[in-house]
DNA sequence: GTTATGACTGCGA
DNA sequence: TTCGCAGCCATAA
């Protein structure tokens, strides 16, 4: 599975994000051991639409809780609808109560692949 | 094969 | 306080 290594790891982390929670590129990248590859995480998510199965990329936002990648979902409302569909409040492309919705894989990530 | 870009983040002045 | 630059790795041309 670890074809691309980094990419696959990103998908694995994003996939375990619990319902109603969100995470950030930096948090995921940091979990992988490369906090500076944060933008690479987003790039990986971009491919999440391709054929890697469903990836809750809508649960991943930038450090400010902004839906920076919303326009990658097709329409500027798709990402927001997905988040609101999970009970997450989004206003002005920004996640409300982001601090409590934030899900840090480094701290909350279950011991996947045990 | 090489060059450029990307859904970001942290540090310095 | 705000603004600008460097870094990570893979994909695309």
pTM of this structure: 0.90
Domain of residue A49, CATH code: 1.10.10.10
A109 within a domain of the structure (yes/no): no
Q: Give me the pLDDT at residue A51, please.
A: 64
A108 within a domain of the structure (yes/no): no
Alpha helical stretches, state H, chain A: 6-15, 25-32, 38-47, 78-85, 98-101, 105-108
Report which secondary-structure segment, H or E, holds A95: strand A94-95
Residues of the domain holding A82: 3-54+61-102
Quote the percentage of chain A above a pLDDT of 90: 50
A43 within a domain of the structure (yes/no): yes
Measured CA angle at A18 (ends A98, A38), to 5 deg: 60
A114 within a domain of the structure (yes/no): no
- For the ranges A15-24, A44-53, A85-94, the lowest mean pLDDT is seen at A44-53
Average pLDDT over residues A35-63: 87
Nucleotide C6 C1' to residue A56 CA (A): 30
pLDDT band at A35 (very low <50, low <70, confident <90, very high): confident
A86 within a domain of the structure (yes/no): yes
A107 within a domain of the structure (yes/no): no
pLDDT for A99 beyond 50: yes
| DSSP-derived pairing of the beta strands A23-24 and A60-61 | parallel
Of A1, A18, A16, A17, the C-alpha closest to A52 is: A1
Q: What b/e sequence results for A2-24 when a residue is b if at least 16 CB atoms lie within 10 Å of its CB, and e otherwise?
A: eeeebbebbbbbbeebeeebbbb
pLDDT for A39 beyond 60: yes
A111 within a domain of the structure (yes/no): no
The number of folded domains in chain A is: 1
Nucleotide B11 C1' to residue A36 CA (A): 12
pLDDT for A2 beyond 60: no
Nucleotide B8 C1' to residue A32 CA (A): 15
Q: Give me the pLDDT at residue A114, please.
A: 55
């Amino acid at each position: 599975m670890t074809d691309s290594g980094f990419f696959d790891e990103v998908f694995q982390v994003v996939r375990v994000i619990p319902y109603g929670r969100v995470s950030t590129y930096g948090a995921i990248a940091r979990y992988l051991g490369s906090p500076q590859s944060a933008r690479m995480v987003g790039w990986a998510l971009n491919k999440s639409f391709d054929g890697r199965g469903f990836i809750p990329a809508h649960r991943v936002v930038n450090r400010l809780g902004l839906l920076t990648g919303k326009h990658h979902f097709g329409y500027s409302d798709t990402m927001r609808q997905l988040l609101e569909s999970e009970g997450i409040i989004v206003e002005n492309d920004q996640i409300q109560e982001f601090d409590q919705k934030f899900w840090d894989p480094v701290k909350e990530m279950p011991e996947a692949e045990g």
